[in-house]
Amino acid sequence: MSILIVEDELRVRAFISRGLTEEGFRVRESADGVEAQELMRHERFALIILDWMLPGMSGLDVLRSLRAKQDVTPILMLTAKDAVADRIQALNAGADDYLIKPFAFDELLARIRAILRRVDNRATPLLTHADLTMDPTTRKVVRAGVEIPLTAREYALLQFLLEHAGEVLSRTRIVQAVWEHDFETFSNVVEVYIRYLRAKVDIPFPTKLIHTVRGVGYVLRSRA
């Protein structure tokens, strides 16, 4: 599940990004409103954490632009603007929630999960392929009726593979989506975690789902 953090304060952005990554979310980051809009044009996000005071284009203008295009991606405003009038203005503009800095990470995480639960209740949350099922709401992974415990990173990797089932994914693309986007792409971290996943998701079952495409990357599919 991918979350976009739009925040110009590097320290705050890095803090949130690290925390959400540890919780198993895929994180993209932007430091200004114009760049954030460009990212939104090319990628779908489960939720956007949006600062108000941004260079280039304010968070409120980003929010209004998104809603004007009938885009219903959930928005959590995270800002130092603490006046009641500011909160009312942002919520009336289409924000789904509003959290004032400084904040506790646990509260931010709780609010994110509450928003995602509301969204999940409006849509089918399950990701499935063959006899493999992932429920993003409960974070439960089941194959052929057997529940499979995964670490946060294994979960994020499998979720990315499921969301792109049948599509050959390069190592670079996987690293950018599942790990921090400036991660060194020559690292063997993808191979290591694919091996971990295979041990849990593939090896105990007769049909293998995770396949290596030599010289390119990996694909999740039912046939060899």
Q: Six-digit token pair at 179?
A: 């790990």
Longest dimension (CA), the chain: 60
- State how far the alpha carbon of 31 is from the alpha carbons of 19, 41, 48, 59, 182, in Å: 18, 16, 13, 11, 15
Question: What pairs with residue 99 in β-bridges?
Answer: 78
Q: What is the reported pLDDT for 101? A: 92
The overall average pLDDT reported for the chain is 88
Q: What is the reported pLDDT for 112? A: 94
pTM for the whole structure: 0.60
Does residue 122 surpass a pLDDT of 70? no
Total length of the chain: 224
State the average pLDDT over residues 132-140. Answer: 83
* Span 79-109, pLDDT tens digits: 999 999 999 999 999 999 999 999 999 999 9
Higher pLDDT, 180 or 194: 194
